[in-house]
Amino acid sequence: MKFVDEAYIDIAAGDGGAGCVSFRHEKYKEFGGPNGGDGGRGGHVFAVADPSLNTLVDYRFARRHEARRGEHGMGSDMFGAAGADITLKMPVGTVLSDSETGEVLFELLQPGEVITIAKGGDGGFGNLRFKSAINRAPRQKTPGWPGEKRSLKLELKVLADVGLLGMPNAGKSTLITAISNARPRIADYPFTTLHPNLGVVRVGPEQSFVVADLPGLIEGAAEGAGLGHLFLRHLQRTRLLLHIVDIAPFDEGVDTVAQAKAIVNELKKYDQALFKKPRWLVLNKLDMVDAEVRAAVVADFVKRYKFKGPVFEISALTREGCEPLIKAIYKHIKSQQLAELPEVDVDPRFVAQEPELPTPGAAA
């Protein structure tokens, strides 16, 4: 299935049905009175977060979505039926914003979450509503209210705890394959990853986190170079960024420090909030460096890069160093989750009091 993380749609809720003007016509009842019913409400448009979906491709070509209008009111005190609602299934993490103003209107963040994105119009009043002691034969009615209409931009931001970023062919796909259940395409040439891949990393029983592998970034990505800029939005909801660096590039003339700094500059240009996220340095492909000079190569890189955060040395191919990395990531994510929990006021009457110990030497 083609991966699509952006789409534009037009939605229209159903209009309400018009009220009815009608009077009772029965034998021997000359003045039967009004019996025109109200119109039915128009159908609503709902959006539901479906965890089985991971792309917006269904909305790339099906742009128009309309709910049914309500039926008109009828005589004999019969109200019109409500229009049928429609429900649009979208991936978890979809952001719905106004296509003209860019204002964010809704977000689907929880699996199974249902939101009303367009309300159907109420039905109009029939002449039965206008009956009174003074106006016994009303001929008034009202039309149905129009349903809401919107032009929306759908934008998918994947929900992942950890995001992998780095130059093409840095080993991101190999790493997510080594530590998670994801099986992205892997090859010995750059730009093999063409769309985000999600993987669940199992740390222990009921202990896991989600990793997102994005296409490699190149210099100028924030201005549109390469593919990575199309998917930088998927890093905005992550709690931690892993900057994967190829410590042993095929071309010996490549300056790995300059490449690493270029990636950080692209984050800064794209989004300041993304640039300020916690970022760890992961030096990959240590299996391609001789054991005798490995420590010197790593020390030289860290010294020239002047990185002050955590640094991990791994080989995604042989899985060397992956286990300590996984445990450190889980510990960091868990601490962030606990810090985000709201503070709860506890009634002191329900707090267990420590028993007072007798003072040594005091009389019993």
Model confidence pLDDT, tens digit, residues 78-104: 999 999 999 999 988 888 999 888 898
Residues 6+ apart with CB under 8 A from 226: 168, 191, 215, 216, 217, 218, 220
25, 5: one domain: yes
Residue 8 lies in domain: 1-156
Among left, alpha and beta (phi > 0; psi -120 to 50; other), residue 27 is beta
**82 domain residue, yes or no:** yes
Residue 184 shares a structural domain with residue 151:
no
Query: Is the residue at 228 inside a domain?
Result: yes
20/287 Cα distance (integer angstroms): 81
Say if residue 203 is in the same domain as residue 64.
no
Q: Does 148 share its domain with 194?
A: no
- Give the pLDDT confidence of 98-128 residue by residue, as tens digits: 988 889 899 898 888 999 999 999 999 999 8
Q: Which CATH number characterizes residue 28's domain?
A: 2.70.210.12
Per-residue pLDDT tens over the stretch 139-186: 999 999 999 999 999 988 777 788 888 887 778 888 888 888 766 554
Can you give the pLDDT at residue 334?
A: 86
In a domain, 347, yes or no: no
What pLDDT was estimated at residue 364? 40
Examine the domain organization and report whether 184 and 80 are in the same domain: no
Confidence of residue 10 (pLDDT cuts 50, 70, 90): very high
Residues 199 and 315 in one domain: yes
* Assessment of whether the complete model's pTM goes beyond 0.75: no
Residue 139 and residue 10 share a domain: yes
253 lies in some domain: yes
pLDDT at 222 over 80: no
Report pLDDT for 85.
94
User: Pick from 156, 187, 213: which residue ends a domain?
Assistant: 156
Residues 73 and 180 in one domain: no
The pLDDT value recorded for residue 189 is 42
Identify the H or E element spanning 267.
helix 256-270
At 184 the pLDDT is 52
From residue 91, alpha-carbon distances to 3, 40, 56, 228 in Å are 12, 32, 7, 21
Domain end (from 138, 156, 174) = 156
Q: Are residues 253 and 330 in the same domain?
A: yes
Cα 276-162-265 angle, rounded to 5 deg: 35
pLDDT at 188 over 50: no
pLDDT at residue 221, rounded to an integer: 45
- Regarding whether 308 and 195 lie in a shared domain, the answer is yes
Check residue 271 and give its pLDDT: 75
Domain count, the chain: 2
Question: Is 223 a member of any domain?
Answer: yes
Is 350 inside any structural domain?
no
Q: Are residues 149 and 181 in the same domain?
A: no
Phi-psi region of 269 (alpha: psi -120 to 50; beta: other; left: phi over 0): alpha
3-state secondary structure at position 292: helix
Lowest mean pLDDT among 1-15, 56-70, 74-88: 1-15
Would you say residue 359 lies in a domain? no
Would you say residue 339 has pLDDT above 80? no
Q: Which residue has the higher pLDDT, 192 or 131?
A: 131
Domain membership of residue 348 (yes or no) is no
Q: Which residues contact 29 (CB under 8 A, 6 or more apart)?
A: none
Task: Taking residues 69-83, report their average pLDDT.
Answer: 92
- Of 108, 123, 156, the residue that ends a domain is 156
pLDDT band at 191 (very low <50, low <70, confident <90, very high): very low
Q: Residue 169 sits in a domain of what CATH number?
A: 3.40.50.300
- Residues 236-243, mean pLDDT to the nearest whole number: 84
Q: Clarify whether residues 51 and 148 are in a common domain.
A: yes
